[in-house]
C-alpha cells in the first residue's frame, strides 16, 4: 500500500457519474492528491437500503457506474480499494431468495444463519443478553418462508442485510468468489466491512471473540495469496484495534477523530498524546467517514476497562459536537432520522468544529503527521457542511454527511482558500521524504505537542498548541535550509 494520502468516496456522489468520471477527476483537478482511492460499495444496488452495503451481487459492478473493465482502467493510474462486506448479503439476493422460498431444501440453506442454527438447543436469557449489537434490540428478523413457516433470521444491522454463515462451505465459497472478482478487476486492497460480527457462538457476545480473530487471520492469508492488502473496519475498544493490527496489514485508527476533537475543544492534549504512544503504526488514519464520527473507540470497554477518555469526557465531547454543529448533528444522531447506531455522531467534521477553518486545517495536519496512512473522505476533502436537505428527504441519519456533488460544485470547492490549503497539505504529506522515516512525539506541555518525522537528514515537525489553536510546520528535505509555514494562517 502506497504511503500517500488516500481518497474514500462514493463514485457517483462525488462525480455525478461513474468510474470513468472518477478517473478523469483524479487525473484532472485532483492530480497528485491521492495514491489510493477507496471506492465505497459499487455493487448493485448503489442506492439500496444501506448505500451499497446491502449488495445483491457482490461480484458485479452497478451498471450505472460502469463495469469491471472501468475499475481496472482506473487502477492503472491509482490503486483501488474495495469493500468486502463480510458479514451479510442483501435480502434481495438470489441465494437468500432461494433459501426463503425452499427453506432447508435450498442449495444455499447452509449459507445463512437463523436463531435455530446458532441456538439448536434454545437460548437462555443470558445468552441473548450477551449478544453485542450496534443498535437497540436483538439481531433477529421474523420472516415467513415458502412453506408458510416463520423463522428468526440473523440480521445484525437491518432486516435487509442477512447475516452469512462464513464458516459454512457455501459461505466460504461466496467470500472466495468475491476475492477472485476483486483480483481480476484490478483491486489491490480490500477493506473487510463489519467483520467483527461475522462469527456467532452461543454464550458469547458474537463480536470480536477469539474465533473472530482467527477468522480475520484466515481472510488476511487469502488476500495475501492474491497479492492484496487487507484493512479491517471495526469500531470497538481501543485495545481491540491494537490486537487486530497484529494480524492484518492495516487497521483503522478510529480513536483519532474523537481525541483530536477533545484536544481542540478543551486544550487538553494528554489523551491524544497517550494514544499516540501506543497506537498501531500500521493504521489507516481518518477524521471523517461515510458513517458517523465514532466515540466508542475512545471510550471504556463493556467489561469496565477504562477508555482513552473518561465517561464524562465522552459526554462533554458529544454535547460539544452537537453545539458546534448548531444542533444539526443532533437531528441525525441516536434515534433521530431513523439512525440507530449507538456509537457515532452523524455530521461533517467541519461542522463539529463550528466551521472554524483554522481548527479544521489543524485537525487535518495532525491526521497527516500521526503514524499511519491518511485517508480523507470526499466531503471532508471539499470542506462540506451538513446536508440537511438530503437528510430530510431520506430520513437517514448518515446522509447528513453523504452529499451528492452536482456540476461545478467540486471545482468551486477546490478553489476556496481552505480547500486549496488542504490540498497543499496533502501534496506535502505525499512528497516530503521525512514521512518515509521514523516518528517521534514530543510532549511540551498539556496542550502543546510536537509530531516529528525524520528520515536521514530529512525532517518535518508539526507543532500544535491546542489551547490557542495555533500550528506551524518546520521542515527540511535534506541539507538545505529549514523552511516554515503556518497552518490555517
Q: Backbone phi, then psi, for 430, in 5-degree steps?
A: -75, -30
Q: Under a CB-based contact definition with an 8 Å cutoff, are residues 413 and 308 in contact?
A: no
* Crossing angle between the packed helical segments 357-369 and 256-266, to the nearest 10 degrees: 140
Q: In whole angstroms, give the CA distance from residue 425 to residue 53.
A: 32
Q: How far is the C-alpha of 171 from the C-alpha of 407, rounded, in Å?
A: 42
Give phi and psi for 144, each to the nearest 5. -95, 130
Cis peptide before 393 (omega within 30 of 0): no
The residues, any chain, with a CB within 8 Å of residue 294's CB and separated by 6 or more, are 235, 254, 257, 258, 343, 344
Instruction: Tell me how far apart the alpha carbons of residues 76 and 455 are, in angstroms, rounded to a whole number.
Output: 29
Contact 153, 118 (CB under 8 A): no
Give the alpha-carbon dihedral of 90, 93, 95, 97, to 10 degrees: 100
Spatial contact of 202 and 113, defined as CB atoms under 8 Å apart:
no
Known binding positions for sucrose: 88
Supply 424's cell numbers: 497543499
Of 329, 72, 92, 30, the closest CA to residue 186 belongs to 72
Q: How far is CA 341 from the centre of its chain?
A: 14
Entry field: residues in the chain: 489
Per-residue cell: 426: 496533502
User: Of the listed 163, 165, 193, 387, which one is catalytic?
Assistant: 193
436 part of the active site: no
Active site residue 233: yes
SS3 231: strand
What region does 412 belong to: left with phi over 0, alpha with psi -120 to 50, or beta? alpha
Angle at 240 between CA 237 and CA 244, to 5 degrees: 150
Annotated catalytic residue: which of 54, 233, 253, 288?
A: 233
* DSSP labels, 70-136: HHHHHHTTSEEEEEEE-SEEETTSHHHHHHHHHGGGSTTGGGB-BHHHH-TT---HHHHHH---SSS
The CA distance from 238 to 163, in Å, is 25
Long-range contacts of 473-476 (CB under 8 A, 24+ apart): 473/365, 473/428, 475/428, 475/432, 475/434
- Point out the annotated binding site for substrate: 50, 191-193, 233, 290-291, 341-344, 398
Catalytic residue ranges: 193, 233
Amino acid at each position: 500500500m502506497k504511503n500517500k494520502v488516500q481518497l474514500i468516496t462514493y463514485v457517483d456522489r462525488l462525480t455525478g457519474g461513474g468510474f470513468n468520471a472518477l478517473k478523469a477527476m483524479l487525473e484532472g483537478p485532483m492530480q497528485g492528491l491521492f495514491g489510493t482511492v477507496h471506492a465505497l460499495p459499487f455493487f448493485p444496488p448503489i442506492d439500496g437500503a444501506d448505500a451499497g452495503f446491502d449488495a445483491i451481487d457482490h461480484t458485479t459492478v452497478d451498471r450505472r457506474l460502469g463495469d469491471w473493465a472501468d475499475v481496472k482502467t482506473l487502477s492503472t493510474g491509482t490503486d483501488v480499494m474495495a469493500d468486502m462486506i463480510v458479514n451479510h448479503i442483501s435480502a434481495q439476493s438470489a441465494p437468500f431468495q432461494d433459501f426463503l422460498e425452499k427453506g432447508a431444501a435450498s442449495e444455499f440453506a447452509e449459507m445463512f444463519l437463523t436463531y435455530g442454527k446458532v441456538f439448536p438447543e434454545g437460548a437462555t436469557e443470558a445468552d441473548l443478553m450477551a449478544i453485542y449489537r450496534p443498535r437497540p434490540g436483538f439481531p433477529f428478523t421474523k420472516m415467513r418462508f415458502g412453506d408458510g413457516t416463520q423463522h428468526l433470521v440473523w440480521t445484525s444491522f437491518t432486516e435487509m442485510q442477512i447475516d452469512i454463515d462464513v464458516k459454512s462451505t457455501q459461505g466460504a465459497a461466496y467470500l472466495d468468489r468475491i476475492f477472485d472478482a476483486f483480483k481480476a478487476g484490478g483491486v489491490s486492497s480490500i477493506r473487510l466491512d463489519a467483520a467483527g460480527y461475522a462469527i456467532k457462538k452461543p454464550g458469547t457476545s458474537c463480536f470480536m471473540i477469539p474465533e473472530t480473530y482467527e477468522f480475520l487471520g484466515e481472510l488476511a492469508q487469502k488476500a495475501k495469496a492474491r497479492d492484496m492488502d487487507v484493512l479491517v473496519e471495526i469500531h470497538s475498544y481501543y485495545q481491540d484495534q491494537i490486537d487486530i493490527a497484529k494480524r492484518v496489514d492495516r487497521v483503522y485508527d478510529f480513536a483519532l477523530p474523537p481525541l483530536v476533537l477533545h484536544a481542540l475543544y478543551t486544550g487538553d492534549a494528554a489523551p491524544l498524546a497517550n494514544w499516540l504512544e501506543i497506537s498501531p503504526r500500521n493504521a489507516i488514519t481518518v477524521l471523517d467517514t461515510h458513517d458517523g464520527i465514532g466515540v466508542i473507540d475512545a471510550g471504556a470497554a463493556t467489561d469496565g476497562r477504562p477508555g482513552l477518555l473518561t465517561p464524562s469526557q465522552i459526554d462533554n465531547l458529544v454535547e460539544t459536537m452537537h453545539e458546534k454543529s448548531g444542533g444539526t448533528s443532533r437531528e441525525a444522531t441516536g434515534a433521530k432520522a431513523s439512525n440507530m447506531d449507538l456509537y457515532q455522531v452523524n455530521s461533517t467534521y467541519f461542522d463539529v468544529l463550528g466551521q472554524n477553518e483554522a481548527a479544521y486545517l489543524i485537525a487535518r495536519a495532525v491526521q497527516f503527521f500521526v503514524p499511519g496512512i491518511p485517508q480523507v473522505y470526499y466531503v471532508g476533502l471539499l470542506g462540506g457542511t451538513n446536508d440537511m436537505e438530503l437528510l430530510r428527504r431520506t430520513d437517514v441519519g448518515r446522509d447528513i454527511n453523504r452529499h451528492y456533488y452536482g456540476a461545478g460544485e467540486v471545482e468551486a470547492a477546490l478553489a476556496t482558500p481552505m480547500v486549496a490549503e488542504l490540498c497543499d497539505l496533502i501534496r506535502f504529506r505525499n512528497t516530503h521524504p521525512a514521512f518515509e522515516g521514523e516518528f517521534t512525539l514530543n510532549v511540551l506541555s498539556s496542550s502543546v505537542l510536537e509530531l516529528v518525522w525524520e528520515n536521514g537528514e530529512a525532517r518535518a515537525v508539526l507543532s500544535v498548541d491546542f489551547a490557542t489553536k495555533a500550528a506551524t510546520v518546520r521542515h527540511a528535505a535534506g541539507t538545505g535550509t529549514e523552511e516554515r509555514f503556518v497552518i490555517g494562517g
